[in-house]
Structure 1
Amino acid sequence: MNIFYFLHYTFYKKMNTTNEILIIDLEATCWENDRIPIGEKVDIIEIGICKLDLKSKAISQKQSIYVIPERSEINDFCTKLTGITPQMIEEKGIYFEEACEKIIHEYHPSTLNWAGFGNFDKEQIFEQCDWLGIDIPFDGEYLNIMEEFRDHFRLHKMIGLKRALDYLKMDFEGNHHSGADDAYNAAKILQKILE
């Protein structure tokens, strides 16, 4: 078995038979130099999500779900990075538990695997669900697209989302650190890996 076939084989083994995968990207409360104030914790403030059809390679159902932070506040640094303001959250935000219910209702994640660019997204979902004592909305296996990208192109180290797109000579579509746009661009990278 040659290495290229082996990589594709192991990749597809991670997928299920539904031929679709959910791609997520989170934005969260953040602080300059990662200095988290005493008494605050990182909170999800946006869940960017889309669906990738593994056969047709079509990307669909792209959206941002804005989330009300319950353990911290959105500061100026966070707004500059993500574009998310406290006013946006006040107008469009829902609580994290409601966001999980929305994902379950609209995407039926119990039948799908899910992916993100790196492990932060998975770990933060797990941490916040654990804190609230609620079930994780995703049942399938998690695929780290950053790792798949490194392995597929036989790179020595993992690289970020924008650098991965540059490597592929692809433009970033939308705004970096917008959850929905980052999820969409991660899905484009996964499309390339699957070619």
Structure 2
Amino acid sequence: MNNNIIVIDLEATCWEYDRTPPGQKTDIIEIGICELNKSTRAISGKQSIYVIPERSKISNFCTQLTGITPQLIEEKGIYFEEACEKIRDEYHPEMLTWAGFGAFDREQMMQQCDYLGIENPFSGNYLNIMHLFRNYNGLHKMMGLKRALKAMNMNFEGHHHSGADDAYNAARILREIL
């Protein structure tokens, strides 16, 4: 059994008041990713994989929220299929458990893979860190990543809504509750 869990956080195209423009669909624009070793408790391999949106455009609202600009995507972005290949090559995720804070990341990944006819690079074994956190703390309501860190007396490290930083902070929570 592999000791590593891959923790991801996605940033996706978004619009103010969730008003998706006609003809556009939510696209992943950043896959933040890192690895948590359950034995050593080390978090490694933190990176951002920027993804070219194929079904939508990055709105000003989205740029203000995530810091991701069309220029950044033009310079550093790769197509979603290439991003999936990069993840397969670097993390060998098909054998590993993967995790995210909430269900959005898993659902968006699966939806975009299905829509584009690309095999999901991740295994079927997904941990919802938000649910684990809620159960660990005996809570009835869900809370966001920043509030969850605060509840565990941890500071957020980096920039909120940066996929790599959010993945890293989610991995820190997972490390504490495992």
TM-score, normalised by the number of residues in structure 1: 0.90
Q: Paired residues, what number?
A: 178
Q: Matches of 2:55 and 2:124 in 1, distance apart?
A: 28
**Is 1:44 the equivalent of 2:28?**
yes
Deviates more, 1:61-70 or 1:150-159: 150-159
Over 6 Å off, 4+ runs: none
Alignment partner of 1:106 out of 90, 93, 116: 90
Residue 78 of structure 2 corresponds to 94
Alignment partner of 2:56 out of 64, 72, 83: 72
Q: Deviations over 1:148-183 (max 9, x none)?
A: 000011011111100000101100000000000000
Query: What one-letter code is carried by the residue in structure 1 that aligns with 2:172?
Result: K
Q: CA RMSD in A?
A: 0.6
Q: Contact 1:147–1:158 (CA<8 Å) still a contact in 2?
A: yes
| Local SS of the residue matching 1:25 | strand
Q: Contact 1:112–1:140 (CA<8 Å) still a contact in 2?
A: no
Q: For 1:32-181, list aligned pairs within 5 A.
A: 32-181=16-165
Q: Deviations over 1:57-112 (max 9, x none)?
A: 10000000000000000011000000000000000000000000000000000121
| Local SS of the residue matching 1:41 | coil
Gap runs ≥5 in structure 2: none
How far residue 140 of structure 1 moved from its aligned partner, in angstroms, is 4.1
| Local SS of the residue matching 1:114 | strand
| Local SS of the residue matching 2:85 | helix
Alignment partner of 2:8 out of 7, 24, 29: 24
Query: What one-letter code is carried by the residue in structure 1 that aligns with 2:169?
Result: N
| Local SS of the residue matching 2:30 | strand
How far residue 124 of structure 1 moved from its aligned partner, in angstroms, is 0.4
Q: Matches of 1:138 and 1:129 in 2, distance apart?
A: 11
Q: Matches of 1:177 and 1:89 in 2, distance apart?
A: 16
Gap runs ≥5 in structure 1: 1-16
Q: Matches of 1:185 and 1:149 in 2, distance apart?
A: 13
Sequence identity (%) = 70
TM-score, normalised by the number of residues in structure 2: 0.99
